[in-house]
Structure 1
Amino acid sequence: MATKQQQQQSSESCDRDGEDGDKGGAETPLTQAQPLANSAPDGGWGWVVLVASIVVLALTLAFPSCMSIFYTDLQKQFNASNSVTSWVPSIMTAVLHAGGPLCSVLVERFGCRATVIMGGVLSGLGMAASAFTNSIVELYITAGVITGLGFCFSFQPAVTILGHYFVRRRVFANAMSSTGTALGLSTLPTLSNYLHTEFGWRGSFLVLGGVLLNCCVCGAVMRPLGPRKPRAHKQMSNGSAVTSKEGTNCLASCFHRHMAFDQFCNNQRYRVFSLGVTWMMLGFVVPLIFLIPYATDNGMDQSKAALLLNVLGFVNIIVRPAFGLLFNLAWFKGRHIYVLSIALLLNGLSNNICCIAPTFPVLLIYMLCYGLTMSVVGTLLFTVLMDIVDMNRFLSALGLLAIMESVTLLIGPPLAGSLVDRTGEYTYVFLASSITVVSSALFLLVSFYWLDRRDTAKKESSPAPAPIHSPDCQYIKVSAGGTDKHTAIQTERVTSV
């Protein structure tokens, strides 16, 4: 009887899920992870999706650092200071993260595939429009807001869909997808430098806008797991369509649900992790923005300075897959956060190498050290988040974390630029970045160690259930036949426990 009721409940639940999927459009929303987790292939078409995710991350996460190729030209074109010019990559990176909740709503409504394609169109049009700007404020809007929002719509669904296609090999899949950032760092600076030499910054922005449209191709292969649902056309009792007011309320409800404030308030590990990562982002990406201006300001050729970012990318490409296989071992389960914290600590300390001398050999050593530690951070960042929250809340947790990061990502580069304007030295930027990243690493390391010790102490102090020692213990066996008018009770003696 119980089995029959469970089957009926399961059938009703599936029917409700199907109806919800119809509300979302042509694709089943990937935020409803429970029916998808059971069908995760851990391979097959998932490898195609993984390759597409790598390309998307190469075109989105690595792109803001390439703006340093055009940093000096933008300064001269608009007669702007370091702090004013640095707002361009800062706004781009901040919007990339701040659009997380809106991206989460779009993924639930339209699915990952449509959202990634939409992001590709936005980023391509925004970057192409940047070629025709006549002021730095217009560049803030086109290259900063529009392109950054397109990056957000492409990047976050590409990461989320991997969590549904891979469960057993999730760490390896995340590590491989993170090589997309490395792939972008190893190719985009060279491409940008070549375009800058041939066409100038305006022509380069126009061509790069076309390159970003490849995100649409990558999004097209990200088909949803499970059967496709036909679009449901719901009508009201009078036969008219759903009003725009009801659609607005639905959108507001979805937005509120995907902010994950409940996780931040109730999940202490997520709260600590999000605060530590948010503080880390204040100085984590700043060295990549100011590395080429620092090198060229001290007499290094720009093509040679751009080679440093290529070295960073190649180090990540070589190292990240190996780290993905290593951290997928059973010994690292539950220890990912500690490896991440130690890598952040070493990453922050490596920024001090830049202060030794602005020569190519010194900066090359810096890129090697920075690249190794950055590889570990990129490999484990999303894996740790997936360990902390359930997969059905991952997208909302990522959205809230991203919007928190956007604040520090927005103010970090302008603060660093202001520091350069006041002191006239780039070395202070790398020192400030070192202090910020090191302090965030220590915060994460100490906090999670304390949380683990507290949880262990609670388990040890909780009373264990008393074992049954008496051989005279009895249990009641109840049997009810379909034709019986009463319940028969039979007592048996337990001979062993």
Structure 2
Amino acid sequence: MTPQKEQSGESCRRRSEEEDEGKANPALPQAQPSFDAPDGGWGWVVLVATILVLALTLAFPSCMGIFYTDLQTEFDASNSETSWVPSIMIAVLHAGGPLCSVLVERFGCRATVMLGGVLSGMGMAASSFTTSIIGLYITAGVITGLGFCFSFQPAVTILGHYFVRRRAFANALSSTGTALGLATLPFLGHYLHSELGWRGSFLVLGAVLLNSCVCGAVMRPVVPRLPRGPSKRAAAARETVVKERARTMLKSLATSFRRHMAFDLFCSNHRFCVFSVAITWMMLGFVVPLIFLVPYATDHGMDQSQAALLLSVMGFINIFVRPPVGLLFSLPWFKGRHVYVFSVALLLNGLSDSICCIAPTFSVLLVYVLCYGLTMSVVGSLVFTVLMDIVDMRRFPAALGLLSIMESVTLLIGPPLAGSLVDRTGVYTYVFLACSMTVASSALFLLVSFYCLDRRDGAQKEVLPALETPHDPVPKYQYIHVSMEGKDDHASIETERVTSV
């Protein structure tokens, strides 16, 4: 028998032993068949479900301003205490990313989205029975926010599994989900508030959030699981695995935390460092106007239906502007220039907050939401594109995880700081002025920093060719590695030859 046949026979025996061991031990990773992304078919159903999930999760915290005054009156709370409710909700939505990744790896996107729908629905339903503002922090803030996180991130993840060739188009359409929720949820919240009060509204909204479970049910995995045949050895091994699951879960949490937190990128990649710092500083005042717009309008005598209409107008602007913006900036001319377009849009978005300081009338605030909505569409469409430009796609999930954690800190303290400012001054215009300065300064920091980094990289590219020797473009020696296997069973000859000088 030749060595090749002996090796093939040994490899076959080894594969059969590994297969038997894999069947006996369910803890070992099982081989799964790989399929190409359908780029259509059932993927369109998943796309619609993702749009609905984003409408129910990302846009929901900004609609809490409709119940802002009622919560203050019910619990005799200050502006700072009341604003903790949406801020905790938004912060937990972003900070729960690493835990959500662990659940997705263990149970899949479908089960995680459905779990998020159950948590968010139960959290809002339990909020209708709370008797203190602290209880509202736990139910509406922590539980509902965690449910939003478990629904939002897996929905975006599974969409990338269904679309590869049409991924840009699918992401552009899915981003309209936030705008759809921003356009419809204020109308729904105002109607429920006028008919049922804030407690009844929270109970009904909890039932509405349970629709995320329906959306998650249609998100079937692209790669099906392989069936496992029942056997006595498998049952015995399963009993052993159950005893070690707690230890495995802790190891998985630690491994996932390291994998989804790109601390090395923050130290080595200067562009990612600048971008993450700028975005974290931006979030201190980016979402605050959405929370305080309705209280600001109603505090100056505007009807609540008109104030809710302002948020809906902003949502409709995002619906119609985001898809063409995504297609426009996908043109080749904008490659490498996304960060500058993003910075200019962010600067205009920050400056638009100062429009609210002119007068609290409907016409002035309508001009404000038009300007804010247009610039918000550009910012929302390009934020992930810019991150993909400055970070390798293999490290993108880790970079996004670290950025989400950093954002959650400023998202948590932003609204309470704004509420404290209103409590001390009694004037809402100071909030919008502070948000304008915060967002505009982050845009200028991002713009100037990337301009300096580009200048530095351009100077280095000009210096490097001058250091190379033009008279010796190729090495003097070229080596070719030649392997010669003889027919002898016991030896093989390998030689290295210099073929040119």
* TM-score normalised to structure 2 length: 0.85
CA contact 1:24–1:108 (8 Å) conserved in 2: no
CA contact 1:92–1:148 (8 Å) conserved in 2: yes
The one-letter code of the counterpart of 1:396 is: A
Counterpart of 1:395 in 2: which secondary structure?
helix
% identical aligned pairs = 72
Displacement of 1:376: 0.7
Counterpart of 2:175 in 1: which secondary structure?
helix
Matching residue within 374, 382, 389 for 1:387: 389
- d(CA) in 1 for partners of 2:206, 2:469: 65
Displacement of 1:422: 1.0
Alignment of 1:415-430 (within 5 A): 415-430=417-432
The one-letter code of the counterpart of 1:212 is: L
The one-letter code of the counterpart of 2:272 is: Y
Matching residue within 304, 315, 319 for 1:302: 304
Matching residue within 451, 461, 464 for 2:463: 461
Provide the aligned length of Structure 1 versus Structure 2: 473
Indicate the structure (1 or 2) with the bigger Cα radius of gyration: 2
| 2:4 counterpart residue number | none
- d(CA) in 1 for partners of 2:399, 2:59: 22
Deviations 1:385-407 (A, max 9, x none): 23333444333322221121111
Task: Give ranges in structure 2 of 5+ residues lacking alignment.
Answer: 1-6
Displacement of 1:45: 3.3
- d(CA) in 2 for partners of 1:330, 1:113: 36
The structure-2 alpha-carbon separation of the partners of 1:234 and 1:449, relative to structure 1 and needing over 3 Å to count, comes to farther
Deviations 1:197-219 (A, max 9, x none): 11111111011001111111222
CA contact 1:235–1:241 (8 Å) conserved in 2: no
CA contact 2:486–2:493 (8 Å) conserved in 1: no
- d(CA) in 2 for partners of 1:474, 1:147: 65
- d(CA) in 2 for partners of 1:130, 1:294: 24
The structure-2 alpha-carbon separation of the partners of 1:445 and 1:164, relative to structure 1 and needing over 3 Å to count, comes to farther
The structure-2 alpha-carbon separation of the partners of 1:393 and 1:163, relative to structure 1 and needing over 3 Å to count, comes to farther
Deviations 1:233-285 (A, max 9, x none): 69769956442442243233234322232332333322222111111000000
| 1:32 counterpart residue number | none
Check if 1:219 corresponds to 2:253.
no
CA contact 2:60–2:181 (8 Å) conserved in 1: yes
| 2:255 counterpart residue number | 254
- d(CA) in 2 for partners of 1:492, 1:250: 53
Displacement of 1:459: 3.0
- d(CA) in 2 for partners of 1:387, 1:238: 47
Matching residue within 100, 124, 127 for 1:127: 124
- d(CA) in 2 for partners of 1:216, 1:388: 35
| 2:333 counterpart residue number | 331
User: Root-mean-square deviation (CA), in Å?
Assistant: 3.3
Alignment of 1:352-367 (within 5 A): 352-367=354-369
| 2:273 counterpart residue number | 271
The structure-2 alpha-carbon separation of the partners of 1:413 and 1:237, relative to structure 1 and needing over 3 Å to count, comes to closer
The structure-2 alpha-carbon separation of the partners of 1:410 and 1:237, relative to structure 1 and needing over 3 Å to count, comes to closer
- d(CA) in 2 for partners of 1:90, 1:303: 24
Displacement of 1:289: 0.4
- d(CA) in 1 for partners of 2:296, 2:433: 13
Matching residue within 159, 162, 182 for 2:159: 162
Matching residue within 396, 413, 420 for 1:411: 413
The structure-2 alpha-carbon separation of the partners of 1:364 and 1:276, relative to structure 1 and needing over 3 Å to count, comes to same
- d(CA) in 2 for partners of 1:166, 1:268: 31
Alignment of 1:43-442 (within 5 A): 43-230=40-227, 239=240, 241-257=242-258, 258-442=260-444
Displacement of 1:227: 4.0
The structure-2 alpha-carbon separation of the partners of 1:237 and 1:287, relative to structure 1 and needing over 3 Å to count, comes to closer
* TM-score normalised to structure 1 length: 0.86
- d(CA) in 1 for partners of 2:66, 2:27: 45
CA contact 2:120–2:144 (8 Å) conserved in 1: yes
CA contact 2:127–2:136 (8 Å) conserved in 1: yes
The structure-2 alpha-carbon separation of the partners of 1:234 and 1:475, relative to structure 1 and needing over 3 Å to count, comes to same
- d(CA) in 2 for partners of 1:488, 1:382: 51
